[in-house]
Chains A and B, each alone.
Chain A
């Protein structure tokens, strides 16, 4: 049993780091520009498709990932300059509906250009999985603890990326401009920060993190138009956990979410076995569980677990 719990925690941390990156990108954009990007997953998906195309042409994995990320940044700037500048003064619902429109457009474009056939993507890291046997005392059945090394490498990359972004936002001038912009738009203008530049930077960074997450999951999900739709929901949940107010919070929220999800599946599995329900596979309920977690979190604390309290305004 201990092994299964440990196993769930390990798998949970690995998938949670991906949710964390997406949540980080979402909260980066939301905090800085005030736009909740419902097209986040699909923007990442388009970037991955571009990367796949470059890979198919050049056979160079790292070049294609690099160009995919650059494409994501350009796409982010494009969305900021073309669409979001126009709705800046409009209501929340207008911004939301515009991003939903972008979501549909990207989905359609991917289908038109690349078709519905799922495309395979190379693993970035390919190592054999490692098995760890715990001491006999803790592990009577002698089940091994499986560490998928690829996922572990992905996990390390994701963690270091988020640490990089956090350091970037704390230590560099453009990063501090981002933070200042998110704290107070007018105040940032007063001290001479180029708010438009900060907005574009947030979009560029945000979308390229989504593309990056897309590259990490692509070997598993294959490259297809709906590859990141569910991940976007996970990202929302992670960011909701983090309260959309701190980058560390969003990433930590992702990790918590990943572990929680795997633990809940484990519990449900045990429950179903005990009750003798064999028609429902607990893995099918994975997304529902996550979404129930969102709803419950929002009920308990509408601005997220680490979130600041919202003060009303007339």
Chain B
């Protein structure tokens, strides 16, 4: 129902704008035209954006709508509101007529045919004396003598159209259109009637273009065939390219730019207009193929946050922290320690740092260590991000810190590092805890996620959202912000290198003789690790225990530190000692 809300918001904003400019009829006329062309552009977007049938003759449907409505109201005396509806229906009949041949054509050929259709309609109308030939039709009755009421009517029609169209494209027809657009043969094999699908797209597209044309006739009061020529069709195409293909209300942005430019350039800069519209078409096709709003969001995530992130990194790295550095292999490794007693070593996951363990550092009778692995947090960066290398470094860290049979706790990617570690040095730990760890056979990240992971580097916003998704029960937003800032300290190349390394990771079958106790913790709200993966890991270790938590996501130690400590102590007391 969000689209109904959207339409109501548009309607209200529209009314407010109308009231602001109620006395400037020139601005009201521009606003009216913008909305009329948005309706036509939404119609074109159904055909070109959703159903993938490129049309460069859609202005002809506007023309048909405009002439039908003008003639019905002037010569036959129909009331305007009925003629607008009738002209929509009449245009959609033409949509059906031009739709039929299109069933046999694809791509460029369809474009040529629709272009031909547009020019034929323009020519035929301008030779018919009944339609006023080249001079067009003048003094068409207006919707209202007041510009404001005309504007309100158009706005109302726009809001209703938006609701109807959103409803259609979110429903089964919309899905079928997209299938026909992307993979026609696959659509057929799924039982889609592609002909029916294309025809319905043509008819709906023509219907809304026709209504837009009729509104145009009754708002401007004067129409000519050349008002709806090839350049109008190209305007419509530019509008949907600017707004983005397969979107509806976004075409409003395109209409504002194109119609706004038309009015802006109406005084003496005419030729520049077509150059600018042409450049816009090329620019948006090359650089913002998904449209302006998508483009702006991408720019925001890729570029605009860069200076802010650089500042965060600078200060975050130099912030005085309650920890120490050791040197391993020429790398400076940051770690935090707390308490006295037997050793527990915490290994954080991807995008993590020692700070993830901040709230679980006080385990009675134990000396707790939390490290920042190289490439993470305050430790130095190295030139590899393979799990195998991390586990070798881990061994050197343990030697350097002189830990004697520590309990090693690994979270997520850290879990995989710990698994890799015990496959090589099974005698070092006393026990192992895997917290929402990747399974022994690694974790496959879908290929489509990589461009988004790539964007985490340059967008703190996205990183924040990602972290709040993997720690759904963490309500301490200050803490979440700290974790996000730490995450931004990761070596840039490792953002994608970690999931790549996890894809290759496989330690299956190496633990048949590993008899030390293994505790596996898993939150049921975890969106990364599934129950199957946890079971797989559990079955791999002969002496393993699985605990599940109902109301916990991917990161129990930040979501519910007390529960984590309880479970850890219980495990140490019952199984390890």
Contact = CB atoms under 8 A, between A and B. Distances in A.
Contact of A98 (B123, B185, B286): B286
Interface stretch (A153-161, A177-185, A257-265, A277-285): A277-285
B119 A112 contact: no
A266 interface: no
A104 B275 contact: yes
Interface stretch (A3-11, A67-75, A214-222, A291-299): A291-299
B171 interface: no
Query: Which applies to chain A's interface (DSSP): helix, strand, loop or mixed?
Result: helix
B278 interface: yes
A271 interface: no
A98 B127 contact: no
A30 B109 CA distance: 12
Interface stretch (A89-97, A166-174, A246-254): A89-97
B56 interface: yes
B113 interface: yes
B279 interface: yes
B433 interface: no
Nearest to B101: A299
A210 to B, nearest CB: 17
Interface in B260-295: 270-282, 285-286, 289
B106 A302 contact: yes
Contacts of A299: 100-101, 104
A240 interface: yes
A285 B127 contact: yes
Given A98-B285, A101-B279, A298-B104, A112 B109 contact: no
B71 interface: no
A212 interface: no
A146 interface: no
A7 B105 CA distance: 35
A261 to B, nearest CB: 14
B534 to A, nearest CB: 37
Contact of B278 (A108, A229, A284): A108
A274 interface: no
A99 to B, nearest CB: 9
B54 A93 contact: yes
Contacts of B273: 108
A314 interface: yes
B143 to A, nearest CB: 32
A109 interface: yes
A86 interface: yes
Contacts of B231: 104
A29 to B, nearest CB: 12
Pick the most buried of A97, A295, A303, A314: most chain B CB atoms within 10 A of its CB: A97
Contacts, number: 143
Contacts of B104: 298-299, 302
Interface in A34-92: 36, 38, 83, 86-87, 90, 92
B124 interface: yes
A90 B117 CA distance: 26
A101 B274 CA distance: 9
Nearest to A115: B271
B109 A285 contact: no
B237 interface: yes
Given A285-B127, A288-B120, A295 B101 contact: yes
A111 B271 contact: yes
B184 interface: yes
B278 A102 contact: yes
Nearest to B183: A314
B95 to A, nearest CB: 15
Contact of B108 (A30, A101, A103, A108): A30
Given A94-B285, A295-B116, A104 B123 contact: no
Nearest to B186: A314
Interface string B78-109: 00000000000000000000001100111111
Contact of B109 (A86, A100, A303): A303
A23 to B, nearest CB: 12
Given A101-B282, A104-B234, A112-B271, A298 B120 contact: no
B184 A312 contact: yes
B393 interface: no
B109 A292 contact: no
Contact of B185 (A92, A111, A314): A314
Contacts of B204: none
A233 B275 contact: no
Contact of B270 (A30, A111, A292, A314): A111
B113 A105 contact: no
A233 B115 contact: yes
B282 A102 contact: yes
A302 B231 CA distance: 26
Contact of B127 (A97, A281, A291): A281
Pick the most buried of B124, B128, B285: most chain A CB atoms within 10 A of its CB: B285
A234 to B, nearest CB: 11
Contact of A87 (B106, B124, B127, B286): B286
Given A291-B120, A298-B101, A100 B107 contact: no
Given A97-B241, A98-B286, A111 B274 contact: yes
Given A30-B108, A108-B273, A92 B116 contact: no
A299 B482 CA distance: 65
A165 B273 CA distance: 37
Nearest to B184: A312
A312 to B, nearest CB: 5
A219 B248 CA distance: 47
A281 B129 CA distance: 11
Contacts of B353: none
A288 B281 contact: no
Given A285-B123, A288-B123, A98 B106 contact: no
B199 to A, nearest CB: 14
B48 interface: yes
Pick the most buried of B54, B113, B186, B237: most chain A CB atoms within 10 A of its CB: B113
Given A279-B129, A298-B112, A100 B286 contact: no
Contacts of A109: 271, 275
Contacts of B106: 302, 310
Nearest to B234: A100
Contacts of B280: 101
Contacts of B360: none
Given A108-B274, A288-B123, 15 more contacts: A87-B285, A97-B282, A100-B278, A101-B285, A104-B281, A112-B271, A240-B112, A280-B129, A284-B126, A287-B120, A295-B117, A295-B120, A299-B104, A302-B105, A313-B185
11 contacts: A97-B282, A98-B286, A101-B279, A108-B278, A236-B116, A240-B109, A287-B119, A302-B106, A302-B109, A303-B109, A313-B185
Interface of B: 48, 52, 54, 56, 100-101, 104-109, 111-113, 115-117, 119-120, 123-124, 126-129, 183-186, 230-231, 234, 237, 241, 270-282, 285-286, 289
Interface of A: 30, 36, 38, 83, 86-87, 90, 92-94, 96-98, 100-109, 111-112, 229, 233, 236, 240, 279-281, 284-285, 287-288, 291-292, 294-295, 298-299, 302-303, 310, 312-314
- In the complex, the 7 A-B pairs of residues with the closest C-beta atoms, listed nearest first: A104-B278, A108-B275, A101-B281, A111-B271, A105-B278, A291-B116, A108-B274
